[in-house]
Amino acid sequence: MFEGNEIAVQQGLQPLKFQPLNFKVGVFGIGLEAYWSQFEGLKDRLEGYLGQVETQLRSFHPEVLNLGLIDTIDKAFDAGKTFKTAGVDIIFLYVSTYALSATVLPVIRKANVPVIVLNLAPEQAIDYKSFNDMQDRVKQTGTWLAYCSSCSVPELANVFQRANLKFHQVTGLLKPEDPCWDEVEAWVQAARVANVLEHNRMGCMGHYYSGMLDIYTDCTRQLATFGGHMELLEVEELATLRDAVNSEEIEARLKLFDGLFDIQEDCLAEDLKRAARTSVALDQMATKYKLGSIAYYYKGTGNAANEEAISSIILGNSLLTARGIPVAGEYEIKNVQAMKIMDAFGAGGSFSEFYAMDYKDDVVLLGHDGPGHIRIAEGKIKVRPLRVYHGKVGSGLSIEMMVKNGPVTLLSIVEKDAGLLLLVAEGHSVAGPILEIGNTNSRYKFEGGIRNFVEAWNSHGPAHHCAIGIGHLAHKIKKLGAILDIPVVQVC
């Protein structure tokens, strides 16, 4: 999945997954039963093509339910029930030849999941000379019908539109090297991410950072849009779990820290032990509540145990983030959703905000205090001691990292009166000096320059945080938006 830093993998930092992925892909082909007795070998030929489609889909995801060629109304009713019972998340409809829309509508209505219409020809073109040299007009027609997939697509589009059923199309060739299969794979990945969100349990620990009006969100709308569950957690529980961590667990975690991080010489041994204790407790909390993401913030009111837990949380949160449980500070629920999306796409998801504009090099510096994503770091992450967490309680150890140089995608979940919006930008993380202040921060370039990027980005009213993942993912995020029925805006 990740193409970034493999230090975490080398150290045996395995993902923590408490909800097993129960994601299934459905596929069926369509044909016209009347053809089979008229054109010898046509059905076998089309079933062979459908088999090729299944093979390609299985190369993207192993759980594929193929219901074969649906060529009668009875089969259509049965197929809809089967897909519904099996709980498929997305259906690929392979149009093998002309077929009646009446054999499709019952399937899609009953299954009630996104449908992708595959308009795929077996070859680039019919061999006209060989075709026209055939002496048997029946054989000619049977051969033509094997190339006739595009004939039914307008009919299906008409019926889907009138039935108020959303559908999407992929047009190309059956051959696996055809670029259309990149689109198919992107649809599979987007549907898989939607499934991850549907079953995600987000831990919300503490409270909002007072006064950050942009990050306040409607949690019910979040759940209604993405699915999942929010577990409201108390900092006191984390502090209680810390008290029960034993010395052996602390020593084991310290060894993990030493392998994963570039720990600077001015880090105190006592601070590392505090961070190790909290990290073990965080793992226990994540396990107890089967968490898939966490948003947290705690202001502190003089409770020493609580403040000790929160001020030593950054390294443990970085480990959780690397293991598929992204963590966002400042109780940024919207942004940890964006981070979870990035992580589910295998792109990481670094918690970021605008740090500075560098007009000399035409780059924007983005980063944040708190946890970093080890798997998408450029080199080994540094651990530095901070005498003060700016704007927050306490002091302790912090993470300093740069996102892996290369293509990146920014994602923000924007809350508007009419609902949610996915705001996307593609750019590049580039080498150069960063602020060595114990925070995550990187240098980013954007097509059209930073002035245009910043103005375009801000014009859509995002919160000041965003998630940054490696690779260019806008085309996949747009498909996720289509599946979840959320508008997607790409500014660059």
**Structural domains of the chain, ranges and CATH numbers in brackets:** 25-195 (3.40.50.10940), 203-490 (3.20.14)
Taking residues 148-170, what's their average pLDDT? Answer: 95
The reported pLDDT for the residue numbered 10 is 47
Question: Which of 261, 256, 255 lies closest to 381, judged by CA?
Answer: 261
In the predicted structure, residue 12 carries a pLDDT above the cut 60: no
Lowest mean pLDDT among 17-31, 52-66, 157-171: 17-31
Question: Which of 103, 109, 43, 101 lies closest to 74, judged by CA?
Answer: 103
The percent of residues above 90 in pLDDT, for the chain, comes to 82
The reported pLDDT for the residue numbered 21 is 76
Neighbours of 231 (CB within 10 A): 15
Neighbours of 104 (CB within 10 A): 27
Taking residues 422-446, what's their average pLDDT? Answer: 93
Q: Residue 263 pairs with which residues in a beta bridge?
A: 383
Q: Which DSSP letter does residue 482 get? A: H
Is residue 309 classed exposed, middle or buried when 0-12, 13-18 and 19+ CB atoms within 10 A define those classes?
buried
Neighbours of 418 (CB within 10 A): 7
The more confident residue out of 387 and 80 is 80
In the predicted structure, residue 313 carries a pLDDT above the cut 80: yes
Predicted TM-score (pTM) of the model is: 0.94
The reported pLDDT for the residue numbered 142 is 87
Taking residues 132-145, what's their average pLDDT? Answer: 90
Q: How confident is the model at residue 3 (pLDDT cuts 50, 70, 90)?
A: very low
Main-chain dihedrals φ then ψ at residue 226, nearest 5 degrees: -100, -20
Question: Which of 20, 94, 45, 15 lies closest to 324, judged by CA?
Answer: 15
CB 358 within 8 A of CB 433: no
Taking residues 59-85, what's their average pLDDT? Answer: 97
The reported pLDDT for the residue numbered 13 is 65
The reported pLDDT for the residue numbered 408 is 98
The reported pLDDT for the residue numbered 485 is 95
In the predicted structure, residue 8 carries a pLDDT above the cut 60: no
The more confident residue out of 134 and 228 is 228
Q: How confident is the model at residue 220 (pLDDT cuts 50, 70, 90)?
A: very high
The reported pLDDT for the residue numbered 1 is 47
- Cα 107 to its chain centre, rounded Å, is 28
The reported pLDDT for the residue numbered 4 is 44
- CA atoms within a 13 Å half-sphere pointing along the CA-CB vector of 52: 19
Q: Tell me the residue type at 144.
A: W
Q: How confident is the model at residue 18 (pLDDT cuts 50, 70, 90)?
A: low
Lowest mean pLDDT among 152-161, 297-306, 361-370: 297-306
Taking residues 75-82, what's their average pLDDT? Answer: 98
The reported pLDDT for the residue numbered 352 is 94
326 to 12, 48, 279, 335, 465: CA distances (angstroms) = 18, 43, 14, 10, 14
State the DSSP H helix or E strand holding residue 468, giving kind and residue range, or none if neither.
Answer: strand 465-470
Main-chain dihedrals φ then ψ at residue 90, nearest 5 degrees: -155, 145
The reported pLDDT for the residue numbered 418 is 81
State the DSSP H helix or E strand holding residue 170, giving kind and residue range, or none if neither.
Answer: strand 167-173
186 to 51, 57, 189, 470, 477: CA distances (angstroms) = 20, 11, 5, 16, 9
Q: What is the pLDDT of residues 83-130, one digit of tens each?
A: 999 999 999 999 999 999 999 999 999 999 999 999 999 999 998 898
Taking residues 146-174, what's their average pLDDT? Answer: 95
431 to 62, 144, 406: CA distances (angstroms) = 38, 56, 9
The reported pLDDT for the residue numbered 74 is 97
In the predicted structure, residue 262 carries a pLDDT above the cut 60: yes
Question: Which of 319, 204, 339 lies closest to 254, judged by CA?
Answer: 319
CA atoms of 463 and 458, how far apart (whole Å): 9
Q: Which two tokens stand for residue 438?
A: 């114990």
CA atoms of 93 and 304, how far apart (whole Å): 60
- Cα 106 to its chain centre, rounded Å, is 31
The reported pLDDT for the residue numbered 467 is 97
The reported pLDDT for the residue numbered 391 is 57
Taking residues 150-165, what's their average pLDDT? Answer: 96
In the predicted structure, residue 17 carries a pLDDT above the cut 70: no
